[in-house]
Every structure is written in C-alpha cells, then in structure tokens.
A and B are shown apart, each in its own frame.
Chain A
Amino acid sequence: MAVRMDKTWTTLNVETVGKLAAHLGVYQLANDEGEILFIGMAGGRTLFGLKGELQKALAEPPPGATQFRVEVNMAYRTRRLELLQAYVHDHGGLPAANTDIDESSLGRLRPS
C-alpha cells in the first residue's frame, strides 16, 4: 500500500456521496486544483461509515472543498495518522481544515 493516497478525485455532491457504502476508512477533501484541505476518518462509532462522514462534509464543507476520495481501511486510525504525517512532510504543515489535530503530537514520518 502506498503511503500517500493516489486515487482519482470524485466531485463532492449528493449523487456521488449517495453511492458510497458505509465502510470504515479514511477520506480526503480537496479543492478544484486537487489541493488537499482535510484528511478525515470514518471510525467504528460512525453511524454510516464513510458515507455518513462524507454526508456531513457535504452539509458543512471546509471552505473550497469540491472533491473527495476514500480508502476503505479497518486500520482507519493509524492510516489517517500516516496520511497526515506524509502531508506534513510534503507541505510543512497540516491541511488547512485539519484544525482538530495538534501537529506537535503527530510524530514525524519521512517517506521517500
């Protein structure tokens, strides 16, 4: 499995989110240019997994978010941390809308 998620982006709208299944996993939100704005997860307490989390994102999207991509993954907690660490390594800081994370406690990953 690649460290960075490299799936194609899907337009964030009612129709595309409605097609998602309720699996657990991780997701990313991006703007029109494909710049990642938020990295989130659908954990074991979510009512409808990735579908439910993306529906929430659709109702209250971070500013500029127009696209999404998901990865079904039971290790959703550690996978999300890995994606966040890789993002910090590549960009020097967290995605703009990830105000829920304390960067100082995130750890350092230096993927090639």
Chain B
Amino acid sequence: MDLSLTEEQQLIVDMVRRFVREEILPLEANLDPDADELAPEDYERLVAMIKDMGLYGLDTPPEYGGPEIDLVTRCLIAIECGQHRAGLYAPCYYVFGGARQAQLFEATEEQKEKYLHPMLRGEKKFFFGLSEPSGGSDPARAIQTRAVRDGDDWVLNGTKLWISGADRADFGLLFARTGGPGRAGVTAFIIETEWEGFNVRRAVHTLRSAKYATEIELNDLRVPHDNILGEEGGGFAIANDRLMRQRIPYAAECIGIAIKANEMAVEYSKVRETFGAPLSQRQGIQWMLVENEIEIRAMKWLVFDAACKADRGDPFRMESAIAKLQCSELAGKVVDRSMQIHGGLGVAKDLPLERWYREIRIRRIGEGPSEVQKHVIARDILGAGLR
C-alpha cells in the first residue's frame, strides 16, 4: 500500500497550510479566545481567496459546484484546516464553505430550487433536527415528535433538543414519527423557521462556549405534504452513504488539533527548564511525547484507510466508525498530555490548549458517541443478528 501523497495532494496541503499560517493565525491573534466567527469583511476576503484556490464548498458534490476532490484529499485538507485555536469546530472559520446537510442532495427538483440552492449560495442557513429529550443515538426508537396528516398538510407536535443553529436558520430538516415504532415509522420534513408553531425555546450552553445548542418546541406546526424529503417513512434511508462518508473528515479534523498540540508540547519541552534541565530531558516527558507521536500516526492510518476504501467504492462502514471512535478518543489524550507538559500555562486562555481540551471532549459524544461506534463495529464483526 502506497500512502505517499500525489503531486496534486502535496500542492493542496502546502497551499492550505500556508493559508492557515498566513491568513488565519494573524486574524485569530486578535479575536476572543472562544470566537468562532471572523469580521464580515475578513470572512468575505478569505472566501474569495479560497474560491480562487478552487477549494470552496468542500463537501458539495462537483455537480453542484463543489471541487473535484476525493475523500483522502478532503481528509488531508481537514487535518490542515484544524490547526488553529478555533480549528476543531470552526475550521478556518468556515471560509471553505461546504454543505453539511447532505440529505438535501436527495431532494426533489422543486425542493432543491427552494432550499438546497439558496443554502449552497450561502444565502440561507439550514439546521438538522433529529435528537429529542428522549435520546439522539437511537433515533429510530427515541423519536416521539408526532406528525399527523391533515389534508395536504402534516401537523407536527413535539420537542427537539441539542439542535445547533436553529435560532439562526431559515430552514430545517425535522424528523417526526408518522407511523409505528422503528425506522419505518419516521419521516423527514423540510420546514421553514418563520412558520407558525416553530419556536426556539432556549439556548443550551455546553463546554463549547462559542456555540450553543437549542431546544425547539413544535406546536401544531403545519408542513405541506410536498415538503417531505424522500418517501413517507423513509427518513432514515436518506443519504446514509453521504453521511457515512462525512464521518471520515469529521475524524480527520480531530487530528489537526492533536498535531498542533503536540508541536506546541515538543517546542515547550525544549525551552522550559526545571531543576536545571529542559523538560525534554525528562523521561516522563519524553514518554508523553512518544505516546502523542504514536497516536497521531495511528489516527492518520485509520482515517486514510477508511477514506481509501470509500474512494475505491469498497464497504467502509466499520472503517469510518473505527476512525471516528479512535480519533475522538486519542486526540483527547494527545491534547491532555500536551496540556500537562505546559503546566499552568496549559490551562490558561493565553494558549489554545484549554479550548481544544473542552471541545475535543464533545467529539466523543457528537456524531454518534464512542459506544455507538463500538456497537456499529460489533455488528459488523458479529453479524446482522446483533440488535
């Protein structure tokens, strides 16, 4: 197996690395340590630069104007984009654009015209509404939001929780129960946040202080039948492959901050002296750095293994679950060790380590907790009979 980069991949990596160092880091030096947005004029300027590079809209399929890149290259970019303070959840402050709502690519032509294209043009914002107070990891069983047919409309009632960006969105994708228990009873609806009956009731503050989640109340929200995405009762079948693919760059993003944290720890260990010698001379510190290095390499192998298989068209469900599981767990350990090496400075807001420490913890829960990833892996190992 040859894991060396192609000439084009190396060019892209160098270009993005330079962009982060020359454009993002200087701006970030003047932002609040928890910021996740640039000033509008800076954002527009950097978006124009990314468009000139031909890298705008990373997760947008080429037929919708996204760049022609394979998943391995997408992961290489994700690793580079994450190497700054806001890099885990706001890589390069979103100037690479992109379309996280992969399900909308499966919409009807009318739905695409009304909802997908304005989102891709950056004119409208979208949210994804799956989780509920009753759970998020097992939505097929947990969804209690009810949709009842009334003429040409459906009437939705229920509560959604842990929903990002609903208060700022124009549209959203909501999953509601239209039938009996299980997956086949769940339908996906495209809704507009201006409609009567849609209320964002509260912000839910988390470790990630740059962004909150929200709680949504649906109170007799009327949704036209034409706004069903996919088939009635087919909510979970939509874009499964696309979502599984997106989990791999999600894992790669964890590697970016791990690399940066480890670089900082290596440098600091060389200059910080204790008891007459640099930290780097202490075996305890050396072993921490060794463990960091090994785990960063392991993460890369797992991510590129999954991405290669996805690019080749091979099955990759287990590989993407392993990559997501290990990257979110190991990157946390790398950041933790790097913080320990920095001592008191590691927990201060002067350095990005404390932000990474908080945010990487969320990654073990978001996009499917570690235990759910293990469940997916176990199902592949033990066969479909496992519930």
A105 to chain B: which residues have CB within 8 Å?
168
A75/B209 in contact, CB under 8 A: yes
Residues of B within 8 A of A (CB): 32-35, 167-168, 193, 199-203, 205-206, 209-212, 214, 349
Please measure, in the bound complex, the distance between the C-alpha atom of A79 and the C-alpha atom of B199, giving whole angstroms: 19
Mostly, the A contact residues are loop
Q: Contact between B211 and A107 (Cβ–Cβ < 8 Å)?
A: no
Q: A43-B33, A105-B168 are in contact. List 5 more A-B contacts (CB 8 A).
A: A43-B32, A76-B34, A78-B210, A85-B203, A110-B201
Q: Is the interface of B mostly helix, strand, loop or mixed?
A: loop
* A79–B32 touching, CB < 8 Å: no
Q: Is the CB of B209 within 8 A of A111?
A: no
A3: B residues at CB distance < 8 A: 202-203
Is there contact, CB below 8 Å, between A82 and B203?
A: yes
Q: Which residues on the A side are within 8 Å of B167 (C-beta)?
A: 85, 107-109
Complex interface: chain A residues within 8 A of B212 (CB) = 75, 78, 81-82
**Given A44-B32, A82-B212, A110:B199 Cβ within 8 A:** yes
Size of A's binding interface in residues, CB under 8 A: 22
* A109:B202 contact, CB within 8 angstroms: yes
Chain A residues with CB under 8 A of B168: 105-108
Determine if B209 and A76 form an interchain contact, defined as CB atoms under 8 angstroms apart: yes
- Chain B residue nearest to A83 (CB atoms) is B203
Residues in B neighbouring A79, C-beta threshold 8 A: 205
**Of the residues A78, A106, A108, A111, contact of B205 by C-beta under 8 Å:** A78
Within the complex, the shortest CB–CB distance from B207 to chain A, in Å, comes to 8
Which of B32, B167, B203, B210 has the most A CB atoms < 10 Å from its CB?
B203
10 contacts between A and B (CB under 8 A): A3-B203, A44-B32, A44-B349, A75-B212, A79-B205, A82-B202, A107-B167, A108-B168, A111-B201, A111-B202
> B48 to nearest A CB, angstroms?
20
Contact, CB under 8 Å: A109 / B210: no
| CB <8 Å contact, A108 and B193 | yes
A99 within 8 A of B: no
